[in-house]
Copies of this chain bind each other. A is one copy, B any other.
Amino acid sequence: LFEGKIENASNKLVVGLVGLPARGKSFLARKLAYYLNWMEIQTTIFNHGEYRRCLLGSRQPASFYDPDNTDGVKTRLSVARLALKDLLKYLNDGGQVGIMDATNSSLRRRQMIEKECARHGVSVFWVESICDRESVIDDNIMKVKMKLPEYSHMTPEDILEDFKKRIEFYKKAYTSLDSTSTESNASFMKIYNLGNDFLIHKPQGTLVMRIVRFLMSVHNRPRSIYLSRHGESTYNKHGKIGGDAGLTESGYKYSVALKKYIEKQGLEDIKVWTSSLQRTIQTAALFDNARVRTFKVLDELNAGELDGCTYEEIKVNRPELYELRSKNKYYYRYPCGESYKDVVSRLEPLLLELEREGDLLVIAHQAVCRCLLAYFKCIPQDQLSKELPYLEVPLHTVLKVTPGIFGCKIEEIMLGPDAVNTHHGRPDSATPPK
């Protein structure tokens, strides 16, 4: 299949999805990939459907998936082997996690993958999605599968029928993961009806545990996350960074506007999160106390020794630091302070909580909002250091983030009043190496 040896294989992982069609496998694969990439764990999805369409064209009849159709079986095996080969190559070229997004529903297919991965010293973690609610499946088909290229020429009724036939064929050769069977040595998790039940078998290592914790937090109920910075602070006005200043007159007006805006959304159960700093707490002051929670991990990037300075002062008094940071803003850590990357890692545990929540208003700070926004925007791992520290998050503006099946919709709502601009664009000289 692939002959090279994989270096550092014990730090790499193959995540294999398992499940019948329309069980949210690709949805989970994408969520997981965005999450891992955000933490700079280089991750790529290998989707069998895409390989199949590329190789065979998009219009395969349902009978292609019949396990008794020997031609179909053979072809599908070669698709699987090709995708696996690419995945292993990717790990060999520096990737850390490869996600095999396919049904992987037969025991034999999984054994083939386990064997190939073992040969290269890489372990496999299986994630099976099980859904026994017929109406959810129908809904998935109508919402997602209708748009598949293979169905572009058909009526909704025919698509539903065809896709259900496909599922029936898959069921014939489907073996669910089972800790008491031949697969007792495999490491896996099973997700029943997204968020309801989880079975975790032999989870091994920190990376697998992080994946388990994350997937235990994911849901797909409709909701929005409203991301906002605090109202303008007196430090903002004077161009100073850090500190624990209160709001200006204009900042207070924003807190009023924000309250009104959220009220108009008519969300009864919305929760409000702030940092531990005065300016976010004051911005949330008009909300019902019982709905507000304060998190120190939402505090602004710590500028360490330079806390309380202006950009101008830093430029004049500490030109070497100014230079260093301009060149590599994402990784640059202030003396006795933090880098953007540090902020991302401290936000990770909170992100799991955020995934579990329903409607949520998060009132935080420029750097913290940038870090969260990079997650919602699904910025690819190799762009993070270049893009994240320059994302625009203006004062007195709400970013309404609505998670969907293929990523988040992000709307920008300027509430005003006018406030100073605290954005510093990317200098031309910035060439962020790792």
Give chain A's interface residues, CB within 8 Å of chain B: 179, 196-203, 206, 209, 212-213, 216-217, 242-244, 296-297, 302, 304-305, 307, 335-336, 342, 345-346, 348-349, 352-353, 356
**Is the beta-carbon distance between A179 and B199 smaller than 8 angstroms?**
no
CB closest chain-B residue, reference A335: B244
From residue A208, how far is it (CB to closest CB) to chain B in Å?
A: 11
Q: List 23 A-B contacts (CB under 8 A).
A: A196-B201, A196-B202, A197-B201, A197-B202, A198-B198, A198-B199, A198-B203, A199-B199, A199-B200, A203-B216, A206-B356, A209-B217, A209-B352, A209-B356, A212-B216, A242-B336, A243-B336, A244-B335, A296-B342, A296-B345, A296-B346, A302-B302, A302-B336
Q: How far is the CA of A243 from the CA of B336 in the complex (A)?
A: 7
As for how many copies of this chain the complex holds, the number is 2
From residue A121, how far is it (CB to closest CB) to chain B in Å?
A: 16
CB closest chain-B residue, reference A357: B206
Q: How far is the CA of A209 from the CA of B357 in the complex (A)?
A: 12
Q: When the two chains form the complex, which single residue of B216, B296, B307, B346 contacts A200, counting CB atoms closer than 8 Å?
A: B216
From residue A183, how far is it (CB to closest CB) to chain B in Å?
A: 13
Q: Residues of B contacting A199 with CB < 8 Å?
A: 197-200
Q: Residues of B contacting A346 with CB < 8 Å?
A: 296-297, 346
Q: How far is the CA of A212 from the CA of B198 in the complex (A)?
A: 11
From residue A58, how far is it (CB to closest CB) to chain B in Å?
A: 39
CB closest chain-B residue, reference A212: B216
Q: Residues of B contacting A348 with CB < 8 Å?
A: 349
Q: How far is the CA of A243 from the CA of B209 in the complex (A)?
A: 34
**Is the beta-carbon distance between A244 and B336 smaller than 8 angstroms?**
yes
From residue A187, how far is it (CB to closest CB) to chain B in Å?
A: 11
Q: When the two chains form the complex, which single residue of B206, B213, B242 contacts A213, counting CB atoms closer than 8 Å?
A: B213
Q: Residues of B contacting A201 with CB < 8 Å?
A: 196-197
**Is the beta-carbon distance between B200 and A353 smaller than 8 angstroms?**
no
